[in-house]
Structure 1
Amino acid sequence: MNEVAGQFSADWEPALTEAPRAPAFIVTLYGDVVEPRGGMLWMGTLIECCAVHGLNESLVRTAVSRLVGAGRLEGVRIGRRSYYRLSDAARDEFRDAARLLFSPVPAPDDWLLCLSDGLREADLPGAWARLSPNVAIAPNREDVAPLDGILMRAKHLDGHGDLRSLSRERWALDDVATAYESFVKRHSGLLERIDGGAHLSAAESLALRLRLVHDYRHAALIDPRLPRAAWPQDWPAERARKLFVAAYVGLSDRADAYVGAEFVNNDGMLMARNEETDRRLFQLKREAAA
């Protein structure tokens, strides 16, 4: 893997010219590559993979130490080698993120309202937003947890009030749009390279897929995924989603082959593919064909 470190230039691929933050990128690496293949990775492999993205060994070791301190990674020493896996709490969080990336819940049609005096001092979780001190609203999706209080289901009546302005204000949708637009700008050249038959090595394919996941994950995690009627004009979420799906599928054969050839865990090598990685790809291919 060392021979590919630092070979990506601005002329080759804009997505790889700016180094990511080490802790966040390590989280991406575990979510995309390591967790679906058992969860354990040798520190040496982690260092080599991060070097391709401009993260030196010192940065990686510091980031891993902080992730361990935060209870997100756990270390295992076997002989002279150190291996790291996700903690149980982080594993549950990763599963939720994986569902968002690989099998997202469709956009809802209506809303949830919660009425409770207890909302006055509460920090609202997830996609919930405050309408008044004792009223909160959220998109009515199966993955949105209800709040304690009187819960109602509501539907917006067309022609009554400016729902788009309300949603932009309450959920800071301008920030979400900026994240999606940045993702599209950074990765828009990928499909042309893939569809045009550009030669991408297995190492390059994995590097590009990791940055694709890293940038899309950032945007998708801050997206409240509201009903379509609340989307601002020219909402970029669908363009970003189509780019993510097509590029991930197009890069995965070679990227996964590289994982199977180069990534080391406590049992030897990570598998190139398994039931979980095949399931992810199947879901994305089905989405692309819909």
Structure 2
Amino acid sequence: MGNALIPRLLDRMPLRSGGFIVTLYGDVVEPRGGRLWMGNIVETCRMVGISETLVRTAVSRLVAAGQLTGERQGRRSFYRLTDGARHEFLSAARTLFAPQAEARWLFVWLGSEQAGEAVPPLERAGFVRLGPHWLLGPAHHRPADPTLVVFEAGTAAGPRLRDLAAAHWDLAAFAAAYDAFLAAFAGITEALDAGLRLSDAEALQLRLLLVHAYRHAALRDARLPAETLPPAWSGQRARRLFADLYLRLSPAADRYVGQHLLAGDDLLPAQTAETLGRTASLARIRDDA
């Protein structure tokens, strides 16, 4: 039955090789030292239907884009994240695995000469324009540009916070992405509850697909404070489902990692302090539901 689940999922979520390799590094490789043998990259991608040719092309492009760097050890090639990519991955990991931060807001003031270059990265991080010189966004993303003028604030009062959010953020698009995630993965919970048994390899495949799909939704979401969101917000249900499934799949998935994936002369560890921190954080998210 596990074998049937994965093809059905793949029918719903066609994969791009580069994006899936990014998911592999973020979920499996980076929290275990950051280095992986090319043969394991090829084999893991083959599990979800991505050919070796596509994998090698994608790795070359990720190297050219400054996200991966290659290392030779004997006749084997290994790849790790560059320092710049690691910073991005750490930020993404906080979004996926950490509980939602306290509701705080940032106001960013831009001088006329800053508007062109500073605005696009802020908008990608969930900020919206309030006027020609002001942007507003949740405080979980602090601008890296030291030349920006940034004010932090809490909400002193505001019965119309939901109106503010609906007017400035595309909540319908965020909700649609979470709804698609829920539709794709709720059936896996039902199958596990009914006694579905998975091999270690299948557990890793499903966990990677889970992370890949949830990352697609969560990293596009502005992650606004709960009081600004509509009742029965699908993002909260998606987060709980992600936490629950990740925890249920991880024992077998981690066992596969520790028995099959090479970092050099040694296998990747099944668990590290960082992976244990992730699962502890997800357990709090699941248990707070």
Q: TM-score, normalised by structure 1?
A: 0.87
Name 1:240's counterpart in structure 2.
238
Distance 2:107 2:183 in 1: 36
From the superposition, tell whether residues 84 and 114 of structure 1 become closer, same or farther in structure 2 (CA, over 3 Å): closer
Distance 2:276 2:159 in 1: 45
Stretch of structure 1 that moved more, 118-127 or 49-58: 118-127
Contact 1:19/1:54, CA 8 A, preserved across alignment:
no
Contact 1:129/1:138, CA 8 A, preserved across alignment:
yes
Between Structure 1 and Structure 2, which shows a larger proportion of helix residues?
2
Deviation for aligned residue 1:233: 4.6
Name 1:4's counterpart in structure 2.
none
Q: Give the AA of the match of 1:64.
A: V
Name 1:137's counterpart in structure 2.
136
Q: Could you say what secondary structure the match of 2:130 adopts?
A: strand
> Is residue 149 of structure 1 aligned with residue 149 of structure 2?
yes
Distance 2:236 2:226 in 1: 11
Name 1:123's counterpart in structure 2.
119
Distance 2:197 2:154 in 1: 51
Name 2:253's counterpart in structure 1.
255
What is the number of residues matched between the two proteins? Answer: 279
Contact 2:108/2:135, CA 8 A, preserved across alignment:
yes
What are the equivalent positions in structure 2 for 1:13-24 lying under 5 Å apart?
14-17=8-11, 18-24=13-19
Distance 1:234 1:245 in 2: 18
Distance 1:140 1:33 in 2: 28
Deviation for aligned residue 1:80: 1.7
Listed as ranges, the gaps of 5+ residues in structure 1 are 1-6
Deviation for aligned residue 1:106: 2.7
Distance 1:12 1:69 in 2: 31
From the superposition, tell whether residues 107 and 225 of structure 1 become closer, same or farther in structure 2 (CA, over 3 Å): farther
Q: Give the AA of the match of 1:128.
A: F
Between the two proteins, what is the percent identity of the paired residues? 44
Name 2:182's counterpart in structure 1.
184
Listed as ranges, the gaps of 5+ residues in structure 2 are none
Contact 1:19/1:55, CA 8 A, preserved across alignment:
no
Name 2:34's counterpart in structure 1.
39
Name 1:81's counterpart in structure 2.
76
> Is residue 286 of structure 1 aligned with residue 288 of structure 2?
no
Distance 1:146 1:87 in 2: 18
From the superposition, tell whether residues 49 and 130 of structure 1 become closer, same or farther in structure 2 (CA, over 3 Å): same
> Is residue 104 of structure 1 aligned with residue 105 of structure 2?
no
